[in-house]
Chain A
């Protein structure tokens, strides 16, 4: 952010004071991040700023190290916790770089940015058009190997014909219609 806020720091706290929620909402790792309680001279109100930079750095990795780290994230999160994986299209360039490229008449190369986090650390990697198929195969293998806590269908359902399965729902879930 380019805007500067004139603040005087009142105190450093380890949790945000009750009245405040940090900008952008609470994140799971927030209890690990110190907060600055500040008096904003410009806005004449109390602001509670979260010191983010040193705590939430995202590590950009090559494809194979990323897959290894992702595997260890899943393994660490077996007893408790979540793993988030985010896919987004990105050129990995800043607005300025994009503006320069498009004014020079060059096309911008896009990649698929993949991020993974377990709320303690974040890793990322990007795949281009040439390597995404190899990556998606390895990625699928990891997911299949680790998403084992999901419920399997009961055996008696499998013995019935697929038509009967579609019509009869199980007691736990509603089944989606097939095209």
Chain B
């Protein structure tokens, strides 16, 4: 499996992957307390990006990525991410909101 070494590269490519195919891209987090290992995976069932770590500081970075994905997935792939994370600079686009039936 392809483990990406650079956190920023992982984040950039994951977001890119999601925006290219928001329907089938998923973000998986696996945590093993007994081994103290954290593995992140983003895949669209064609390409797979993975990141693994045993460092607490990476877990803090993962929280930001969680927020990014929650926002992208709940609001839509066109959402402006600069409000989520100051580092992200995306084109400002209108937020997609479903105006249909409620769940």
Contact = CB atoms under 8 A, between A and B. Distances in A.
Interface of A: 74, 77-89, 92, 101, 106-113, 126-129, 132-133, 135-136, 139-140, 143-144, 146-153, 173-174, 176-179
Contacts of A135: 70
A146 B65 CA distance: 18
Sorted from nearest, which 7 A-B pairs have the closest CB atoms? A109-B98, A112-B73, A149-B36, A176-B7, A132-B74, A89-B73, A88-B26
A110 B98 contact: yes
B95 to A, nearest CB: 8
B17 interface: no
A136 B65 CA distance: 11
9 contacts: A81-B32, A89-B77, A107-B98, A109-B97, A144-B59, A144-B63, A150-B54, A150-B56, A177-B6
A17 to B, nearest CB: 28
Given A87-B27, A150-B38, A132 B75 contact: yes
